[in-house]
Amino acid sequence: MTFLRSAIFFAWFALVSATMAILFLPVLAMPRKATVWMSRQWSALVFWGLRAFAGTGFEVRGPRPPDGVLVASKHMSMWDTLALYLMLDDPAVVLKRGLTLIPFYGWYVSKAGSIAIDRKGGAQSLRAMAAAAKKVIAQGRSILIFPEGTRKQPAAAPDYKPGVAGLYGQLGVACVPAALNSGVFWAGFIKRPGTIVLEFLEPIPPGLRSRDFMTLLEARIETASNALVAEARAHLNL
């Protein structure tokens, strides 16, 4: 049954994505906000199908972050990007440059105001990321970054990259950690029924040394995410 429901959701996801990508091409010639609106509608429709066909809903815990902060989240599945884009008010998502080269998808994320980075660019790439992030913060928008740089399996060993500390030090704003357990439910093709939890944690104030910041950030995200994963697995009897 789970496989069948996952297949129906996949068909819904493909239909919605392809239809909107083509029908809304004109928004790419409009002001950026038009693309942001389209992206949020796409995310909402994907989540509707996820609940209706796969039986997978979600819950948000903790106060939602204000505008103009750095949000650093655990990353387990594609669900995370969609959910955080909906929960935050027009964030700039830090993503690898290669994603912007994907037809349609790359066009929309670029127009929406994401921050693309070249992971092999070294210090120059980090400087460019910081400069772009400062402009976003000056606009009153938030920055969304996944500190590990890629998706990780639930409860896998953490691998936090220093880029988030560089942004934190350069921007001088609070950092809101976010924990989640999406990987238990959105497991590749398989979508398990249940409730994904996204939890916004206690903000980290600006001004900490990079090493202290990284230690605190990783501890908060990993502790909370592992607890949420254990909660989900117990519910599913995994």
35-89 pLDDT tens trace: 999 999 999 999 999 999 999 999 999 999 999 999 999 999 999 999 999 999 8
The token duo for 192 is: 């398990």
Show the beta-strand stretches assigned E in 38-125.
Answer: 56-61, 70-73, 92-96, 115-117
Residue 165 pLDDT greater than 90, yes or no:
yes
Tell me the C-alpha distance between 93 and 40, whole Å: 13
Cβ-based neighbour number of residue 150 at 10 Å:
10
Q: Is residue 34 part of a domain?
A: no
Each residue's pLDDT tens digit, 91-150 = 999 988 888 888 888 899 899 889 988 776 667 777 888 899 999 999 999 999 999 989
Residue in 140, 138, 16, 156 with CA at minimum distance from that of residue 89: 140
Q: Is residue 27 part of a domain?
A: no
What's the structural domain count of the chain?
A: 1
pLDDT at 183: 97
Give the model's pLDDT for residue 100. Answer: 85
What is the model's pTM?
0.93
State residue 76's pLDDT score. Answer: 97
How many whole angstroms separate alpha carbon 236 and alpha carbon 232? 6
* Rounded-to-integer distance, Cα 84 and Cα 196, Å: 13
CA distance 99 to 160: 20
**Would you say residue 4 lies in a domain?**
no
Alpha carbon distances (Å) from 227 to 53, 160, 179, 218: 27, 19, 9, 14
Distance CA 140, CA 162 (A): 24
Query: Is the predicted pLDDT of residue 154 greater than 90, yes or no?
Result: yes
Please report whether residue 179 resides in a domain. Answer: yes
Residue 10 lies in a domain: no
Q: Is residue 28 part of a domain?
A: no
Quick one: which of 169, 187, 176 has its CA closest to 145?
Answer: 176
Using CA atoms, how far residue 218 sits from 123, 155, 228, 231, in Å, is 23, 13, 15, 20
CA-based torsion, 105, 107, 111, 113: positive or negative: positive
| Percent of the chain residues topping a pLDDT of 90 | 80
User: Is residue 7 included in any domain, yes or no?
Assistant: no
Q: What CATH number does the domain containing 130 carry?
A: 3.40.50
In a domain, residue 22? The reply is no
Domain of residue 74 covers 56-236
